[in-house]
Structure 1
Amino acid sequence: MKHKLTKGMSFLLIAIVMVTTIIGQPLSAKAAETLELQAESAILVDSETGKILFSKNPDIALPPASMTKMMTEYLVHDAIENGEIEWGTTTQISNYAYSISADSSFSGIGLTQDKPYTVEELYNAMAVFSDNGTTIALAELIAGSEGDFVKMMNDKAKEMGLPDYKFVNSTGLPNSSLGENVPKGTSPSDTNLLSAKSAAILAYNLVNDYPESLDISSQIESEFEGYTVENLNWMLPHEATYLQQFHYEGVDGLKTGHTDLAGYCFTGTAQVDNNRLISVVMKTESEAARFEQTAKLLNYGFNNFDQKELFAKGYQLEDKSTLPVAKGKEDTVQIATNDSFEVPVKGDQAENYSIEYHLDKDKLNKDGELTAPIKKDEKIGTAELVFNGEVNYGYISDESSKNTVDLVAQDAIEKDNWFMLTLGAIGDFFTGLFSTIVDTVKGWF
């Protein structure tokens, strides 16, 4: 017989959620403008450009609880892509993973020893139901031990450019709850730490590098060990009546989290039309609140921002459309952007954007000229999109930023023949000599 496993489904919860606002509905313009969030920290990011649309205390490092598992998920996908494991690879459950799974205080699914589990089974349980034992089993399969896996987590965090992070285990549980199984290199008092900005960068990488992860995180239910387990993400279209008010059209991930220390947190993502947003809320007051506050963020993003092409490919600044050329058959060359600038723009703020050129100084001589030969589409610098408005949250990282494109030559300029170059050199010599004589004569008077 199949059983339904859910967390926190009590009459008290039903009473609470029945009086909450129907959060899937758009906010008023005034509410969206002020956007007062009941969360310790939060951030909203456009997943295409990495542009931050809103943030509140985004750099505070807080316990992320099971949002930690996003890094474990990423490393599983990495291992599959690198050919180290496959979805069908099997592994058995260690005493450590089994002890965590068997502890009812961790609300796990429950694992069986001396039985092979596939990577796909373990990953589904981790991503859908946030199971801790299956997470540990995957960490041990990939790295040999959770301690070595933690090293991989921190190395990957550094590689991604996460500004604020500390990984001490694969699950997000406090190390103090792991007993004698505290991962090597960490201490019993350690806990995982992430800022909202770091969680957003992690989610950004997971969604963009491995979009197939959303196929799993969007599952409302998953079968495991004879159970039908329900996704802890209430913003998915659950059948239960008391959860339907939390449904948000377009949400397909990503990861919930809760411990006594972390409070209730959630990294969400939703796609409406062709626009995908990533949101993070940390340390909210209740299981319902984390989804309410996420809905506020998503409403703010979808209701107030439109993806716009501000400057088309081939755009030229009027007063800087050409560069002088030395030793070429042409005296100048046209320069322009090799790609368009498309970003989420709020209201009428498109007029607050401009472009600045940054020429590659190594390609210019002392007189500021390009030296022939020059190839068509040769990169000679970059064009930067600059926002001149009052509120600018920037981008989640330099790597994700789409605020620069290459500045390239529009035509090929051949090098002049030796005869013309010689005449030019002679002319330059006499011009310089004449200037010197003039300056000397002027000095006599």
Structure 2
Amino acid sequence: MKRALIILLMPMLLFSAIMQPTQHVNAATNLTPNVGAAILIDAETGKILYEQNADEIVGIASITKLLAEYILLDEIAAGKLKWEDTYNMTPNTYLLSQNRLLSNVPLREDGTYELWELYEAMAIYSANAATVAIAERVAGSEKAFLELMNKKIESLGVKDYQFVNVTGLNNEYLNGNHPAGNEKDENMMSAKSVAILTYHLLKSHPEVLETASVLEKTFREGTSDAILMRNWNLMLPGSIYAYEGVDGLKTGTTDFAGHSFVGTAERNGRRVIAVVLNAKEEDGSVEDQTRFVPTKNLFDFAFNQTAQKEILKAGATIEGSEFMPVVNGKQEQVKIATAEGISLVTTEDAVYEPVVTLNAERLDATVKEGTVVGHVVMQRVNGEEYGYLEDKPLKVDLVTTESVERLGWAALFLAGVGSFYSEIWAGFKEFATKLF
């Protein structure tokens, strides 16, 4: 009987299991379990959608090259350099280019290269010597370019960083030619700072994606120096971990920094940026997919569980704070409401409540329409609220929605007399109550 009952129930159990709804990923705990640091942002507004150890300063390896790209693109946009400008090889850069254990394209000792081909080698193949070559062409030396990097990153408001070279390599691979730090040093930033850099790079130079999205290209095609450059970003279309909408941006790998990735994807006109630093497998090992699986989790969360949401309307009144008393006015109170609305990218189930702060207990007439009387801050009451990259508060002004004129002198006099006798009568009643 038991065996027959199990056989009868099996199809029902299987059907029930198949029909169970897909569980949403818990953003707070499950997106990046084996990652040293991570952050996910909306690329349009800088709204942070998820973060893990995002303020911790860690190694960034070749993600450094995003800053080198930024500076070069600034120079091109300003007309200080042209893509056709040439670079003549220096001995130290030539020596670095011959180390094929590192990501490099072969550069000739007596070679002359145009900036565009060095840029492609850097952006597609993460070529290290090509990056140093660009630094030397832009600033005259790697040390001088390093100063430009420090100046640029500080202009973006970033303070938690360490740059010891322009490539992101460990200094010990630079043959004693590192411009700063000691031989064991590497470049370091926090995930949030990397996100700030990427956010501004895409705002200033969206054309960076035209090169970052190239899956493969031959360096110096048709010459004896030709080499196939295959993008290390394995989430690009046509790659093994392809993800719909991915068109950039930069990988980074050293023993110190681990496997890291700055990825960006666009779907239905909406772009997000994910930063994953020092990713590992559960057992501590690293594989090709190590940095791309958590990035996929972040992208899935962004596109499937977050959206633009209005959490406060313009002209809204806040319950319990709909009016403010007016002294000496033709009206005893005036209506107040929000000057603006608040919309942001957040999770579908996010709930916010208003917290009102008024500048005073009452207003003195005359009151003009649009007078700022306080503000309202929206606080999330369920889940984590991460805010914005650049500390934009969820705050708007409260303003009066109408004008209130001041009473004339006669009305003020009568009101004063009435108040005087009211106070006398109140005092008499209190006195009489005590007598009897």
Q: Tell me if both proteins adopt one fold, taking TM over 0.5 as the criterion.
A: yes
What is residue 379 of structure 2 aligned with on the other side? 386
What is residue 211 of structure 1 aligned with on the other side? 206
Contact 2:308–2:346 (8 Å) recurs in 1 = yes
Contact 1:382–1:404 (8 Å) recurs in 2 = no
* Root mean square deviation, CA, Å: 3.6
Contact 2:250–2:262 (8 Å) recurs in 1 = yes
Secondary structure, aligned partner of 2:58:
coil
Question: Aligned equivalents of 1:221 and 1:318: distance in 2?
Answer: 59
Question: Aligned equivalents of 1:410 and 1:224: distance in 2?
Answer: 65
Equivalent in 272, 275, 281 of residue 280 of structure 1: 275
Question: Aligned equivalents of 1:329 and 1:75: distance in 2?
Answer: 62
Q: Does 1:342 align with 2:336?
A: no
What is residue 252 of structure 2 aligned with on the other side? 257
Secondary structure, aligned partner of 2:242:
coil
What is residue 156 of structure 2 aligned with on the other side? 160
Closer/same/farther in 2, CA of residues 320 and 230 from structure 1, 3 Å limit? same
The one-character-per-residue Cα deviations of 1:31-67 (angstroms, maximum 9, x if unpaired) are 7234463323323233344343333333332211101
Tell which deviates more after alignment, 256-265 or 86-95.
86-95
Question: Aligned equivalents of 1:424 and 1:161: distance in 2?
Answer: 57
Closer/same/farther in 2, CA of residues 176 and 386 from structure 1, 3 Å limit? same
Q: Does 1:117 align with 2:114?
A: yes
The one-character-per-residue Cα deviations of 1:85-104 (angstroms, maximum 9, x if unpaired) are 35536141451433322332
What is residue 248 of structure 1 aligned with on the other side? 243
What is residue 8 of structure 1 aligned with on the other side? none
Partner amino acid, structure 1, of 2:80: I
Q: Does 1:32 align with 2:25?
A: yes
What is residue 101 of structure 1 aligned with on the other side? 97
What is residue 232 of structure 1 aligned with on the other side? 232
What is residue 307 of structure 1 aligned with on the other side? 308
User: Of the two, which has the highest radius of gyration?
Assistant: 2
Partner amino acid, structure 1, of 2:353: S
What is residue 353 of structure 1 aligned with on the other side? 352
Q: 1:118-197 alignment to 2 at 5 Å?
A: 118=115, 120-162=116-158, 164-183=160-179, 185-197=180-192
Question: Aligned equivalents of 2:148 and 2:414: distance in 1?
Answer: 64
Contact 1:327–1:421 (8 Å) recurs in 2 = no
Question: Aligned equivalents of 2:352 and 2:334: distance in 1?
Answer: 28
Question: Aligned equivalents of 2:398 and 2:136: distance in 1?
Answer: 49
Partner amino acid, structure 2, of 1:319: G
Deviation at 1:128, TM superposition (A): 1.6
The one-character-per-residue Cα deviations of 1:260-287 (angstroms, maximum 9, x if unpaired) are 2222111111122233222122223123
Q: Does 1:220 align with 2:200?
A: no
Contact 1:165–1:194 (8 Å) recurs in 2 = yes
Deviation at 1:434, TM superposition (A): 7.5
Deviation at 1:235, TM superposition (A): 0.6
Question: Aligned equivalents of 1:137 and 1:374: distance in 2?
Answer: 63
Contact 1:176–1:188 (8 Å) recurs in 2 = yes
Q: Which runs of 5+ in 1 are unaligned?
A: 1-27
Deviation at 1:174, TM superposition (A): 1.4
What is residue 71 of structure 1 aligned with on the other side? 67
Deviation at 1:305, TM superposition (A): 2.7
Question: Aligned equivalents of 1:258 and 1:58: distance in 2?
Answer: 19
The structure showing larger relative contact order (alpha-carbon pairs under 8 Å, at least 6 residues apart) is: 1
Q: Does 1:44 align with 2:40?
A: yes
Equivalent in 389, 392, 395 of residue 387 of structure 2: 395
Tell which deviates more after alignment, 380-389 or 167-176.
380-389
Question: Aligned equivalents of 1:142 and 1:308: distance in 2?
Answer: 44
Contact 2:374–2:399 (8 Å) recurs in 1 = no
Question: Aligned equivalents of 1:31 and 1:339: distance in 2?
Answer: 29
> What's the % identity of the aligned pairs?
32
Partner amino acid, structure 2, of 1:160: L
Question: Aligned equivalents of 1:91 and 1:382: distance in 2?
Answer: 57
What is residue 406 of structure 1 aligned with on the other side? 396
Secondary structure, aligned partner of 2:34:
coil
Q: Which runs of 5+ in 2 are unaligned?
A: 1-20, 280-285
The one-character-per-residue Cα deviations of 1:134-186 (angstroms, maximum 9, x if unpaired) are 32233334444332332333343334344632122221111222234221x53
Question: Aligned equivalents of 2:312 and 2:156: distance in 1?
Answer: 29
Secondary structure, aligned partner of 1:279:
strand
Deviation at 1:294, TM superposition (A): 1.5
Partner amino acid, structure 2, of 1:202: L
Secondary structure, aligned partner of 1:74:
helix
Question: Aligned equivalents of 2:93 and 2:422: distance in 1?
Answer: 85
The one-character-per-residue Cα deviations of 1:98-147 (angstroms, maximum 9, x if unpaired) are 332233232212335552513x4333322221122232233334444332
Deviation at 1:415, TM superposition (A): 6.8
Contact 1:263–1:283 (8 Å) recurs in 2 = yes
Question: Aligned equivalents of 2:327 and 2:146: distance in 1?
Answer: 56
Question: Aligned equivalents of 2:266 and 2:298: distance in 1?
Answer: 13
Deviation at 1:233, TM superposition (A): 0.7
What is residue 56 of structure 1 aligned with on the other side? 52
Contact 2:39–2:54 (8 Å) recurs in 1 = yes
Scaled by the length of structure 2, the TM-score of the pair is 0.76
